[in-house]
Amino acid sequence: MTLRVMTRRFTVEEYHRMVEAGILGEDDRVELIEGEIIEMPPISSAHAGCVDRLAMRLMEGLRRRAIVRVQGPIRLGERSEPMPDLALLRPRADFYASAHPGPEDVWLVIEVAETSGAYDRERKLPLYGRAGIPETWVVDLEREEVVVGRDPSPEGYRTLCIARRGETLAPLAFPDLILSVDEILG
């Protein structure tokens, strides 16, 4: 007799019911990626500082042209609801209180990685591209670089580039908001 191992993948609705039932706590550092519940590592002070620095700079530079969401969920379909470190969302009167934003609501996703760089580049970056998010940045604190994904497709992003210290970046949706990589990395 052969043992067949099966993996159970969850939907976003089942994931939310787990929170409602107390199986997952609202403060648990988890996200749903392609049906799998992924436990996220604790946030280090370097990671938190980078997120805070970017959030402040984005809020100052955008002046109410976008909602800057910090570590909040984005629904990417029936089986994925990641919680990127930052997202630039289309303004909406209810600030997405009635439903989490979907890909059509997002201009830019930013993931900050200290120890999860490979995971963010290899799993989350293609996920955002397949979902149709126009642009994703992975700020890799360990490598001191920002991986930029643009031109989404069913396979992920068609265009990937790396920005390093001494270079600048601007979100596609806000080309007037120029950020230096040095400023992003701190």
Q: Does residue 2 carry a pLDDT above 90?
A: no
Quick: pLDDT tens for 104-143.
999 999 999 988 888 999 999 999 999 999 999 999 999 9
CA distance 172 to 157: 14
Q: Does residue 1 carry a pLDDT above 70?
A: no
* 3-class DSSP assignment, residue 32: strand
Q: Please give the model's pTM, rounded to 2 decimal places.
A: 0.93
| Rounded mean pLDDT, 66-88 | 96
- Residues 6 or more apart from 106 whose CB is under 8 A from it? 74, 87, 88, 89, 90, 133, 134
Q: Does residue 6 carry a pLDDT above 90?
A: no
Cα atoms in the Cβ-side hemisphere of radius 13 Å centred on 96: 20
Percent of the chain's residues with pLDDT above 70: 99
* 3-class DSSP assignment, residue 18: helix
Mean pLDDT across the chain, nearest whole number? 94
Quick: pLDDT tens for 14-46.
988 998 899 998 788 899 999 999 998 889 999
Percent of the chain's residues with pLDDT above 90: 83
Question: Domains (ranges, CATH) in the chain?
Answer: 42-185 (3.90.1570.10)
Q: Judging by beta carbons within 10 Å of its beta carbon (0-12, 13-18, 19+), is residue 3 exposed, middle or buried?
A: exposed
Return the pLDDT at 8. Answer: 84
Return the pLDDT at 154. Answer: 96
- Residues 6 or more apart from 155 whose CB is under 8 A from it? 126, 129, 130
Return the pLDDT at 27. Answer: 82
Question: Bigger pLDDT: 8 or 69?
Answer: 69
CB of 58 within 8 A of CB of 68?
A: yes
Per-residue HEC secondary structure of 88-143 comes to EECCCCCCCCCCCCCHHHEEEEEEEECCCHHHHHHHHHHHHHHHCCCEEEEEECCC
